[in-house]
Structure 1
Amino acid sequence: MSGLLGYGSCYDAMHEADLLILLGTDFPYDQFLPADVRTAQVDLDPSHLGRRTRLDLAVVGDAGETVRGLLPLVDAKKDRKFLDEMRRKHVKSLTGVVGAYTKDVEKVTPIHPEYVADILDQEAADDAVFTVDTGMCNVWAARYISPNGKRRVIGSFLHGSMANAMPHAIGAASAEPGRQVVAMSGDGGCRCSSATCSPSRPTTCP
């Protein structure tokens, strides 16, 4: 991913590409998009076209239908140099900068939240539903929860509503009672009563 949720390798890939195609995305981090790379955008909503970056081609239409129409016109490339280099950078980020928070930290007090997210990723079911609060829980889920095609991450990605993970988790569990649901909630998702909290410990929850 790019932007605040990314590692940097996607940023490099976009800035070093010959052509950037934005499909049905309105990602808000415009400062991470390249200004001098040929860019095309496809979206059903015309108001999204060119809103984040300048475009060489704007297409109003369904992203899936557009891709299916274009693929027969694209010749497969045999040179994997660019792809392999970007993947190498991605792996380096995961094992280096990101991995620094999750290796040899079992005895660190207090434990890093990144370590908690990494353990959740390892222990959760292959088809688990993760709900994430807006803020750092969102970042930790994006960086440490491994997508596999069966898992799902639910959050307030459009409006950025606070303390959404718990009600999302309740709704997901009610919709699919047999499916594992993991709520990644921050202190905004835990409401304390005056009987259990004191002014000196305003974020302590039972």
Structure 2
Amino acid sequence: MRGTLFVVAAPSGAGKSSIVNACLARDSNIRLSISFTSRAARPGERHAEHYHFVSAEQFQQMVAKGDFFEHALVHGDWKGTAKQSVEPQLAAGHDVLLEIDWQGALQVRKQVPEAVSVFILPPSREALEERMRKRAQDSEETIQRRLSAAREEMSHYDEFDYVIVNEHFADAVSEMCAIFVASRLRRPMQQVRHGALIAALLAGDGSGS
């Protein structure tokens, strides 16, 4: 049975990566697709764990070869999901999670209409700015640019199936995991997963009843 593709997007600083990582630790049925990016690694980030870090030239070569499932220019850097990171896992029956931006999510939904999409919002603008500043990795100019971009990103929340407000982290994680479980319990999925059971339950017993 083919796996489900989950798409999770959020403005920078909304806590998306933290929520996703907590859900991955809790739900062993989810596989995270590692995106490619042309930006430099931040302190603490490791190649092939957080991102596949490549040069802008390498990224464009991959685009030209049609290697990407989706790609977009985000905050001046290219990000994308390679097809080989997604399709084989879905075909093997694994659920795959894409942690991407709204532009990438739009491309994915056009190719995979049945994908389940989730958008994460911060509890306030003040909380969003505070989280950005806590990173202590970006300049003031970069922070202001990201805050401006966040408003544009958040305006696309209504294009997604589910919306989570990350006010209390534990609650947001539980809500995300609940979406994963509920998606697996949809009737079409259960009809395939438990086809033999359903057929046996509905079979006649020969008594004419």
Q: With structure 1 as the length reference, what TM-score do the two structures score?
A: 0.28
Whose helix proportion is higher, 1 or 2? 2
Whose strand proportion is higher, 1 or 2? 2
By relative contact order (CA 8 Å, sep 6+), the higher-ranking structure is 2
Q: With structure 2 as the length reference, what TM-score do the two structures score?
A: 0.28
